[in-house]
Amino acid sequence: MTQQHGAIALSHETSRILSLPVVFTAEAWQQAVHLDGAEPDDITDRLSNALKAAYQAALSAPATNLVTFGLHRLPPDGDPNSPLWLDLQVSHDDAPQLTQLLIALKKPSQPLAA
C-alpha cells in the first residue's frame, strides 16, 4: 500500500521510516557530529550530512531493519590532516518499544558459531 504525498507516492515502510524520531547513540554523535571548538554552522553541516546519509541508507532498503553506511569525517579534534572513514548503522524495527530511527557506530561482525 502506498500513500500519496504531493507528487511522491510512498510505500508503508518508507512512510514509517520518515515519520520516526531520529536518535544518535552517544558514541555515534561524538564521532559523526561533534567537533571540538566548532562553530554552530560546522555542527549543522555535520549533522545534516549524517542525517542525509542515514536516511539514504534506510530508504535504500526500507524493509531491512538494520542498514550499514559510512561517512568521511574529520576526527572530533578537527585535524584536517587525519580524515577518517566512519562506519555507522541505522536501524528501525516494528516492535512497539523501538519506535525510532537509531544511528549508531557499526558493530563489529560477530564470528559464526562453530
Domain count, the chain: 1
- For the residues 86-96, what does the mean pLDDT come to? 84
Report the pLDDT value the prediction gives residue 114, as an integer from 0 to 100. Answer: 45
Q: 65: burial class by Cβ within 10 Å (0-12, 13-18, 19+)?
A: middle
More confident residue, 100 or 76: 100
Residue 64 domain boundaries? 20-105
Give domain status of residue 3, yes or no: no
Report the pLDDT value the prediction gives residue 16, as an integer from 0 to 100. Answer: 86
Give the HSE-up count for residue 2: Cα atoms under 13 Å, Cβ half-sphere: 8
pLDDT at 18 over 80: yes
pLDDT at 8 over 50: yes
Report the pLDDT value the prediction gives residue 113, as an integer from 0 to 100. Answer: 47
Give domain status of residue 97, yes or no: yes
Give domain status of residue 11, yes or no: no
pLDDT digits (tens, 9 = 90+) for 48-79: 999 999 999 999 999 899 999 999 987 767 78
Give domain status of residue 5, yes or no: no
pLDDT at 92 over 60: yes
Report the pLDDT value the prediction gives residue 57, as an integer from 0 to 100. Answer: 96
pLDDT at 108 over 70: yes
Whether the CB-CB separation of 103 and 94 falls below 8 Å is answered with: no
